[in-house]
């Protein structure tokens, strides 16, 4: 097995892009970068714990590397920001082979390259028996342009990108024993497995919404629509009604998976209704991404699901680590 310094030297030898505002990356006690005065810094972190967030028996290492970075990029997307740099901390069980780490980094750096984000440091430790991955992501947005959870106003329309429930369906299939390497998967099964194992952050769309000043609030779907809409409503001091028939449910996913499954990493956002023509025009720039209106922000502080004439409470039933 590689020694810690050999691992770090190996990391430094990988193809890592080198933007002009990076003054010192991996190799010093701290990284240094400069940042333009018309921008604000965004910073966020996510921890992935083995057997809580992923299981090694069904997670290929390159896809784990991809996902660890993707979920962090998704947080920057949800602010409408531009992602720039990240730090990676790894606690590695002694039994994990070098080849696993090499593959993990390959998948991660491939995604980093796609979005031109740069690995600028991290920390490396041993762990007794589980793998832990932590990424801290740094991004920026123009002054005052970042989109918070707290800006939704009564009458705003609620939208979602993509489809819901694919990731939860993918997890269910993995737990049933399906693997991404199986060659008898249906198209739907394959898409669901990839939605879970290889989520795509909506960075470009989020950034465009923010630059065009269209969204009043935004969040990414990590816990599940019911919980994440709850976060917007609570932070904004408003309520919401969601129409069941308009929900973009992934084919063969259940309503429960779509509402509460989580890990779709789609963007949930609100816009003042006068912006909907502009949103329509903007959505044409993203022909591969569906954008669906699912409801409306209300003054009644509760959240409701409307199904024809039936109205049921939309309770936050997404993932809770401490539940």
- 300: which 2 tokens? 């009644």
Binding status of residue 124 toward ligand ADP by CB under 6 A: yes
Stretch that binds ligand ADP, among 23-31, 33-41, 126-134, 143-151 (CB under 6 A): 23-31
What is the distance between the alpha carbons of residues 63 and 60, in angstroms, rounded to a whole number? 5
Closest to ligand ADP by CB, 26 vs 112, is: 26
Q: Which does 276 bind (CB under 5 to 8 A by kind): Mg ion, ligand ADP, none?
A: none
- Work out whether the CA dihedral 71, 44, 84, 22 comes out positive or negative: negative
Location of structure tokens 């509460």: 260
Binding status of residue 11 toward ligand ADP by CB under 6 A: yes
Considering only 88, 152, 158, 166, the residue that binds ligand ADP (CB under 6 A) is 88
Binding status of residue 121 toward ligand ADP by CB under 6 A: yes
Considering only 1, 2, 17, 28, the residue that binds ligand ADP (CB under 6 A) is 28
Q: Name which of residues 282 to 301 contact ligand ADP (CB under 6 A).
A: none
To which H or E segment does residue 232 belong?
helix 225-236
Task: Count the neighbouring beta carbons within 10 Å of the beta carbon of residue 27.
Answer: 12
Closest chain position to Mg ion (CB): 123
Are 104 and 166 within 8 A, CB to CB?
no
What is the distance between the alpha carbons of residues 209 and 71, in angstroms, rounded to a whole number? 19
- 285: which 2 tokens? 């720039």
Q: Which does 119 bind (CB under 5 to 8 A by kind): Mg ion, ligand ADP, none?
A: ligand ADP
Nearest to 82 by CA among 123, 138, 134, 160: 138
Binding status of residue 98 toward Mg ion by CB under 5 A: no
Are 51 and 127 within 8 A, CB to CB?
no
Binding status of residue 102 toward ligand ADP by CB under 6 A: no
Stretch that binds ligand ADP, among 76-84, 85-93, 96-104, 266-274 (CB under 6 A): 85-93
Stretch that binds ligand ADP, among 109-117, 119-127, 151-159, 286-294 (CB under 6 A): 119-127
Closest to Mg ion by CB, 98 vs 123, is: 123
CA 44 to each of CA 40, 53, 276: distance values in angstroms, whole numbers, following the listed order: 13, 18, 30
To which H or E segment does residue 44 belong?
strand 39-49
- Give the nearest distance from C-beta 37 to ligand ADP in angstroms: 26
**Bridge partner list, 313:** 304
Stretch that binds ligand ADP, among 33-41, 83-91, 195-203, 297-305 (CB under 6 A): 83-91
Nearest to 286 by CA among 195, 214, 222: 214
Binding status of residue 251 toward ligand ADP by CB under 6 A: no
User: Which parts of this chain interact with ligand ADP (CB under 6 A)?
Assistant: 8, 11, 26-29, 88-90, 119, 121-124
């Amino acid at each position: 097995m590689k020694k810690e310094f050999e691992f770090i030297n190996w990391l430094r030898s990988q193809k890592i892009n080198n933007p002009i505002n990076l003054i010192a990356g991996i190799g010093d006690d701290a990284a240094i970068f400069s940042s333009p005065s018309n921008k604000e810094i965004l910073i966020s972190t996510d921890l992935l714990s083995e057997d809580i967030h992923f299981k090694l028996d069904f997670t290929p290492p390159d896809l784990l590397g991809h996902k660890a970075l993707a979920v962090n990029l998704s947080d920057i997307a949800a602010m409408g920001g531009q992602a720039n740099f990240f730090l990676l901390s790894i606690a590695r069980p002694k039994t994990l082979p070098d080849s696993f780490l090499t593959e993990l980094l390959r998948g991660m750096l491939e995604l980093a390259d796609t979005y031109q984000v740069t690995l600028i440091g991290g920390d490396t430790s041993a762990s007794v028996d589980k793998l832990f991955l932590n990424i801290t992501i740094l991004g920026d947005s123009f002054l005052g342009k970042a989109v918070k959870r707290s800006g939704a106003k009564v009458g705003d329309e609620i939208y979602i990108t993509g489809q819901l429930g694919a990731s939860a369906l993918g997890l269910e299939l993995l737990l049933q024993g399906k693997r991404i390497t199986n060659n008898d998967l249906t198209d739907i099964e394959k898409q669901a497995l990839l939605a879970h194992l290889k989520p795509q952050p909506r960075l470009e769309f989020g950034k465009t919404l923010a630059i065009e000043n269209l969204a009043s609030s935004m969040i990414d779907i990590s816990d599940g629509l019911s919980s994440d809409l709850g976060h917007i409503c609570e932070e904004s001091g408003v309520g919401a009604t969601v129409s069941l028939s308009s929900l973009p449910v992934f084919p063969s996913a259940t309503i429960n998976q779509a509402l509460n499954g989580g890990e779709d990493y789609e963007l949930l956002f609100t816009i003042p209704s006068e912006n909907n023509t502009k949103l329509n025009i903007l959505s044409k720039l993203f022909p591969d991404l569906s954008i669906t209106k699912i409801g409306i922000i209300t003054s009644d502080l509760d959240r409701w699901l409307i199904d024809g004439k039936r109205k049921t409470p939309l309770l936050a039933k997404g993932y809770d680590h401490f539940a």
